[in-house]
Amino acid sequence: MKSILKMLMVIALLSSTQTFSQTKNVKFETVKILGNCDFCKSNIEKAGNQKNVTHVVWNKDSKIATLTYDSKKTNHDEILKRIALAGYDSEEYLSPDETYAKLPECCKYERAIKAKIMSMPMDMKDNTAYNNHSDMPSSQDKRALDVKNNSQLDSVFDKYFILKDALIKSDGATASTNALSLTKAIQSVDMTKLSTEEHTVWMKVLKDLYFDSEHISDTKDASHQRDHFTSLSENIYKLMKVAKQDTPVYYQHCPMFNNGKGANWLSKEEAIKNPYYGSQMLTCGSTVETIK
């Protein structure tokens, strides 16, 4: 049996090697992921795979997945989190209960890993998959959990607002410095402490948040910074919509920017102060939504 499994792993590895034959930063790993059937295999591989970035091959008999990925573009954690969000537990990341519940009956594997973690003393759980996006405390602890979740994103939001204020002043040098602070805030977010909904959005916007914040920090040209600020604002908006806010946040729109196509931004102030034109058209725009 072991020899057959080894042979299957070698075949998967050869297939992955061909897929990444032109990539220099390739990593190969194996990990146990729970599932039952061919439908599970399809779901796991679909969730894990990204063209020219990640190749996942899962064996339903051994429950072992072979991960091949470009380490410059992704990592072990991101792959397993995507698979967990599709409904499949690994030893590091548990699927949210509501996601697991939506799997077809044939795919509802025995959640042995979850049972093992839940039987551990609390101090041991702190170093296991318990801290990921499922098995959160009961409703009596929900208020404290919400505070902890918010603290993971508050710094990102705060740095965004500071960056926005620099663009209002057309201060490219300060905006560059503030964007670097935003990048560091993004890097500091502990994804395992986000709520399920926050985590789902975070995984979708993370790459673009990095891209835009880094590009803004790499230049002192306010015009170029504003080009990236448009997409940065769209992704911050998506994230803020699923995060709890202590005070209202105003989603505002400039109809003139980008050759009349318009652009949006977020502000703690209801009064319009346009970051795309600064003093040239400071009050150009309107509030299109209030996020509470």
List the pLDDT tens digit at each of the 292 positions of the chain.
Answer: 445 445 545 445 445 445 555 557 899 899 999 999 999 999 999 999 998 899 999 999 999 999 999 998 899 888 999 999 999 999 888 888 888 999 999 999 999 876 655 554 444 444 444 344 444 433 333 333 333 345 689 999 999 999 999 999 999 999 999 999 999 999 888 877 888 888 889 988 998 999 999 999 999 999 999 999 999 999 999 999 999 888 999 999 999 999 999 999 999 999 999 999 999 999 999 999 999 8
Q: What angle do CA 89, 90, 96 make, to 5 degrees?
A: 30
Residues contacting residue 50 through CB under 8 Å, at least 6 positions apart = 73, 74
The per-residue pLDDT for 116 is 58
Considering only the C-alpha atoms of the chain, give the largest distance between any 2 of them, rounded to a whole number of Å: 73
Q: So what's the pLDDT on residue 92?
A: 83
What burial letters (b/e) apply to 270-284, b meaning 16+ CB within 10 Å? Answer: eebbbbbbbeeeeeb
pLDDT score of 219: 96
pLDDT at 22: 57
| Exposure b/e, 227-244, CB count within 10 A at least 16 = b | bbbbbbbbbbbebbebbe
Helix, strand, coil share of the chain (percent; to 5): 55, 15, 35
Q: What is the pLDDT of residue 273?
A: 97
Give the per-residue pLDDT at 3: 54
- The DSSP result for 172-220, as a single string, is HHHHHHHHHHHHHHHHH--GGGS-HHHHHHHHHHHHHHHHHHHHHHT--
Q: Please count the other Cβ atoms lying within 10 Å of the Cβ belonging to residue 159.
A: 20
pLDDT at residue 139, rounded to an integer: 37
In the numeric block, the tokens 């318009």 are attached to 262
Q: Tell me the backbone φ, ψ of residue 290, rounded to 5 degrees.
A: -110, 120
- Both tokens of 71, joined, read 């380490």
Give the CA-trace dihedral at 229, 235, 240, 242, to 10 degrees.
Answer: 180
In order of their start, the domains of the chain are: 2-134 (3.30.70.100), 140-291 (1.20.120)
pLDDT at 126: 41
Tokens of 20: 């990444």
30: which strand partners? 66
pTM of whole model > 0.75? Answer: no
Q: Which residues pair with 254 in a beta bridge?
A: 263
How are strands ordered across the β-sheet holding 26-32?
26-32, 64-70, 54-58
- Look at residues 23, 73, 65, 30 and name the one whose alpha carbon lies nearest to residue 48: 65
